[in-house]
Amino acid sequence: MITVDEYRFSKRKTLAVSIDPVGRVIVRAPKGYPQKKIDDFLQKKAAWIESHSRIKRERAADILPSSLDGYLLPFLGGQLRLVVSPVKRAKEESGALYLPMVNPESALKNWLKRQAREIFLSRTIYWQDKMGVRCRSVSVSSAKRRWGSCSGKDEIRYTYRLLYAPMEMIDYVVVHELAHIRHKNHSALFWKEVSAYMPDCFSRRAWLKKHALYLELF
């Protein structure tokens, strides 16, 4: 019997199963869908589920750290070596990020969020000037399911984990979200808008999808 890590019931009409970046099994089903039919569906997909879940768990074990000290953190296309030491607050120096011995992970997240606010705001201002659009606000979240979002009120949010990607991927997410100010969907017109400013947008999008495991880091 397949172990399901999460069920997501919604107004969708079809049943689907997916494996998230760390190997968790997620079932998406219509509200009120019979459990017996879900179990039968999973049984038919058992070999595929077990194979893909194992591959992703093994990959996650290679990337997700067992400890902070000494970990090489992906950062803006390079790496920062994390060092837990007797400092009072997180500080970057010579390619290393020094973290306090008390609550080092909390200090790391706070440092990342400070960097994210400055970098993402700067890139958003740059690209909205080029694109001739204006967002209402820019904020940083801790989202683990998406790199960025644009609300119906043109409020843009980026997860601070986007810092783990190279700057060209950050720019893609910025352009993607700004394009939603004119197009509130992913229509052909939306992609035409994105492609006008970033012709290689689909390769950048593919990179982010391939590296979705970064959303699980810290």
**All domains of the chain in start order, with CATH:** 6-63 (no CATH), 104-216 (3.30.2010.10)
Q: What is the mean pLDDT of residues 24-40?
A: 92
pLDDT tens string 50-100:
998 888 888 777 777 778 899 999 999 999 999 999 999 999 999 999 999
Is 0.85 surpassed by the pTM of this model?
A: no
Task: List, in order, residues 6 or more apart from 174 with CB less than 8 Å away.
Answer: 120, 123, 124, 127, 148, 158
Give yes or no for a contact between 159 and 117, defined as CB atoms under 8 angstroms apart: no
Mean pLDDT, range 21-47, rounded to an integer: 90
Would you state the pLDDT for residue 119?
Answer: 98
Mean pLDDT of the chain: 93
**How much is the pLDDT for 59?**
79
pLDDT of residue 89: 92
Instruction: Name the 3-class secondary structure at 74.
Output: strand
Overall residue count recorded for the chain in this entry? 218
Predicted pLDDT at 52: 86
Provide the terminal-to-terminal Cα distance of the chain, rounded to the nearest Å: 31
pLDDT, residue 111, reads 97
* Spatial contact of 201 and 172, defined as CB atoms under 8 Å apart: yes
Q: State the Cα–Cα distance between residues 178 and 48, nearest whole angstrom.
A: 37
What does the pLDDT read at residue 175? 98
> Lowest-confidence range among 20-24, 36-40, 64-68, 115-119?
64-68
Q: What is the pLDDT of residues 104-152, one digit of tens each?
A: 999 999 999 999 999 999 999 999 999 999 999 999 999 988 999 999 9
Q: What is the pLDDT of residue 218?
A: 87
CA distance 19 to 47: 13
Q: Which residue has the tokens 């049943």?
A: 15
What sections of 2-132 are H helices per DSSP?
Answer: 35-44, 46-63, 104-131
Which residue type is seen at 131?
A: M
Provide, rounded to the nearest whole percent, the portion of the chain with pLDDT above 70: 100
Summarize the confidence of residues 171-189 as an average pLDDT: 97
User: To which residue do tokens 């400092």 refer?
Assistant: 87
Q: Cα–Cα distance between 169 and 149 in angstroms, integer?
A: 15
- Are 214 and 165 spatial neighbours (Cβ–Cβ below 8 Å)? yes
Please classify residue 98 by burial: count the beta carbons closer than 10 Å to its beta carbon, then call 0-12 exposed, 13-18 middle and 19+ buried: buried
